[in-house]
Structure 1
């Protein structure tokens, strides 16, 4: 029997699959295996894959399924320590100085101690993930690491080595229990091997047709069976074309939802052309699929579904 204690980790790969499925995330056995091992070995999990395949959702699902807090560090170009780790509340510190002057406090050490105390410290995601006290360790999502530069990557390597950071004015803050770390990247640049070596690795691919159909059944239950099968088959074929950006699982869900909001029971060329903006995000791709090529894909889908009954 699975341990139902709040925050308890799964005791097997099968329990991991069931845990994720309980939150409607359908993980293949290889993905469930690496998640189970990352939890068991207390190692960061490094997830690579195309945008929209569900990497970020893994962290969100784990946090929800385990009943743990999710702390997210959204990476971007120019991300620095003050945005990622901590900074001082300068307005509050200035007010503290003025109050000290007004009350005649002249003890320099006391003023400095008051200025650089915990109450003036603004905790950013890294420090939040390391400094959580009471209850199980949080899930720490470092999202789209490839958007940062190598300097921040090197800093993060130090954090993940010992799960601690040093604040000059306060000292070293070390996690009492290491957080569950999920790192994602869309592979717009290569991440240094030194960081990867500290993680367990998994490439998250697009789901196959059967898995994606089950995802639609769970996420968009109001969609009819015929429409769900058409949507999945159509998207699966689009991913085989040379598009600028293939639709991800999130876009498949959005498209199926949009079609049900329009009370469509099946796909037709006009509906596809009108709703492509929920599925494709680049005008060149939309223009290509909205006309002859999109009609050809739909014809193939209808022929295949008719053949299988």
Structure 2
């Protein structure tokens, strides 16, 4: 049995870090070509695996130095059938690459985990289509579509699965049901537009409540990702019960809209210190918030600043 699958440490409290914008970091800082924004292709070569290892270790060093936990998300956000086909990967090749992504994280955990820094391995899942455009699957179709990748993760040492940049409730329901069918804990991360709503027009509250209603609240928790805090902080009203379901934030560095980011040819890394202050300002409105990471434009420097602003002993230092 995988180490934490039946006992996720992040559910017990404490602070856990997560990585930042893996694709934007590898493209703009490492100078790598990632076709269709797919970082999993790097697992095919020793050089590519070294880039991924170096990437993760920058974050693991931040977590271990500060004595906090870490969520190791695999580089498989694009490793599903539709994106795999565009990249020339059949189903067997995708299964192999998804398993290889977890094996790399296993090696990292063996070398970096300490009692003060538990490292949870999570198989990362992305949307079937574009994370910035509404998908059209119903829940049953989404469950069938994502089941294959989740089944692969279930056969590895992955402790859980996490679905990122989802913008459609039906797809989120399908992911959660597929995870439950394969006895995998799961987290759902929704992305929102500059008005704080999903691209479908649904509020974040409605999205979380609909998924919980349809799945018996199966997701272990929810996150907000791939949006700047300025896009969603106004919808988080202290004291509302649904906010207790949000355990993590993986925000963008940039205040630009998704459309603007799609068209940008340069990296907007924002201001790490400002981003850290915005995370800290949310602590009283999000009582369960404990997973701190980043998304587009962020790197280990942003996550370090966020962590330093979050931990009490750092605030008083």
Q: Do they superpose with TM above 0.5?
A: no
**Which has more helix, going by share of residues?**
1
TM-score by length of 1: 0.31
